[in-house]
């Protein structure tokens, strides 16, 4: 943990107004040196924005020790990004897929380094995938399974990176932070789908007060995977509540991971 004290934090976000609010709050609550925090624009729903961010980052920042990929757009009205993808799939998966691949050289220069993919328990609600139709689904704005599928894809890509980066001293982890509330979005859809929420809204409201985590507790597993020294060389593990957990059998399928990787490379133009 001492290795990361005084670390430089880069907050990459689409909404700079909310980013400034988060940065100001971080400065007040932690007392961190303001020179160690930088806010940069990066819209995961625009592949061009991701590329622009990476170019600027590589030009102006010397190091990248820990990359945390966290987006939790859980539902929306049927929207396509300007790149032609389902907005949930691009925000939660394809945007981070491109970001990670473009930053790999920087991570290799700073090894030992880490990649953290923040997924969700909901990934295990996907029991099968029609791979002959998956590329079409990427571009389907009405795909109701987009959120859990995006979180499944994050874990599959983690297993693929695990094999590719085994000799590179870059540790890759995926995790679920659980269900927690934030001032930005009301509640995280990490343990309940938008469909279930719409059906059981009053009941869920009651359960929320019993089972919901605070943001401070919700982030524990993220921080653990980012800085826990005993996890070095523990490639590809999936965590829940700061302990190793078992993802769905589908999320652990190496053949599926390879197929998804090839399709994703084509989708983002790599």
Range among 2-16, 17-31, 151-165 rated most confident = 151-165
| pTM listed for this prediction | 0.86
Q: Strand (E) positions, the chain?
A: 9-13, 37-41, 66-69, 113-118, 170-176, 238-240, 243-245
Mean pLDDT score across all residues of the chain: 83
Q: Are residues 122 and 213 in the same domain?
A: yes
Q: Are residues 7 and 119 in the same domain?
A: no
Cis status, amide bond into 112, omega within 30 of 0: yes
Q: Are residues 111 and 135 in the same domain?
A: yes
pLDDT-based confidence at residue 22 (cuts at 50, 70, 90): confident
| Residues 139/80, Cβ–Cβ less than 8 Å | yes
The pLDDT of residue 237: 92
User: Which of the residues are catalytic?
Assistant: 147
pLDDT score of 204 more than 60:
no
Q: Which residues pair with 118 in a beta bridge?
A: 175
CA distance 174 to 150: 13
Q: Are residues 23 and 142 in the same domain?
A: no
Q: Are residues 145 and 262 in the same domain?
A: yes
Mean pLDDT of 189-213: 46
The pLDDT of residue 83: 96
Mean pLDDT of 32-42: 91
- Those residues whose C-beta lies under 8 Å from the C-beta of residue 49, and which sit 6 or more positions away, are 14, 41, 42, 43
Provide the domain limits for residue 23.
Answer: 1-41
- Those residues whose C-beta lies under 8 Å from the C-beta of residue 102, and which sit 6 or more positions away, are 50, 51, 54
> Total domain count for the chain?
2
pLDDT-based confidence at residue 183 (cuts at 50, 70, 90): very low
Q: Are residues 256 and 123 in the same domain?
A: yes
Mean pLDDT of 169-185: 73
Domain with 156 in it: what CATH number? Answer: 3.40.50.720
Taking 3-state DSSP, the helix, strand and coil percentages for the chain, each rounded to the nearest 5, stand at: 55, 15, 35
Q: 74 versus 163: which is more confidently predicted?
A: 163
Q: Are residues 95 and 5 in the same domain?
A: no
Q: Are residues 31 and 77 in the same domain?
A: no
Give the tokens for residue 248: 């769905």
Mean pLDDT of 92-110: 97
Q: What share of the chain has pLDDT > 70, as a percent?
A: 80
The β-bridge relationship of strands 170-176 and 66-69 is: unpaired
| Residues 23/51, Cβ–Cβ less than 8 Å | no
| Residues 237/176, Cβ–Cβ less than 8 Å | no
Residue 208 DSSP SS3? helix
pLDDT score of 243 more than 70:
yes
pLDDT-based confidence at residue 205 (cuts at 50, 70, 90): very low
Q: 129 versus 181: which is more confidently predicted?
A: 129
pLDDT score of 185 more than 60:
no
The pLDDT of residue 44: 96
Q: Are residues 226 and 162 in the same domain?
A: yes
pLDDT-based confidence at residue 186 (cuts at 50, 70, 90): very low
pLDDT score of 55 more than 80:
yes
Q: Are residues 193 and 228 in the same domain?
A: yes
- Those residues whose C-beta lies under 8 Å from the C-beta of residue 14, and which sit 6 or more positions away, are 41, 42, 43, 44, 45, 49
């Amino acid at each position: 943990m001492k290795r990361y004290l005084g670390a430089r934090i880069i907050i990459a976000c689409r909404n700079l107004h909310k980013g400034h609010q988060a940065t100001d709050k971080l400065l007040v609550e932690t007392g961190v040196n303001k020179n160690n925090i930088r806010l940069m624009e990066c819209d995961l729903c625009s592949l061009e924005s991701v590329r622009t961010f990476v170019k600027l980052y590589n030009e102006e920042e010397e190091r990248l020790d820990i990359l945390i990929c966290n987006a939790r757009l859980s539902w929306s009205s049927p929207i396509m990004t300007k790149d032609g993808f389902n907005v949930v799939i691009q925000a939660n998966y394809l945007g981070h897929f491109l970001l990670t691949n473009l930053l790999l050289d920087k991570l290799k220069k700073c090894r030992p380094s880490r990649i953290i993919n923040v997924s969700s328990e909901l990934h295990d609600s996907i029991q099968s995938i029609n791979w002959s139709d998956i590329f079409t689904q990427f571009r389907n704005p009405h795909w109701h399974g987009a959120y859990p599928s995006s979180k499944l894809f994050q874990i599959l890509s983690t297993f693929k990176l695990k094999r590719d980066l085994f000799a590179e001293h870059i540790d890759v982890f995926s995790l679920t932070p659980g269900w927690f509330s934030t001032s930005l979005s009301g509640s995280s859809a990490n343990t309940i789908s938008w469909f279930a929420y719409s059906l059981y809204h009053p009941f869920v409201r009651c359960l929320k007060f019993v089972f919901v985590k605070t943001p401070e507790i919700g982030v524990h597993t993220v921080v653990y995977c980012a800085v826990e020294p005993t996890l070095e060389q523990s490639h590809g593990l999936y965590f829940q509540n700061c302990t190793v957990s078992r993802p769905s059998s589908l999320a652990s399928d190496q053949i599926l991971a390879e197929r998804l990787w090839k399709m994703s490379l084509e989708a983002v133009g790599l």
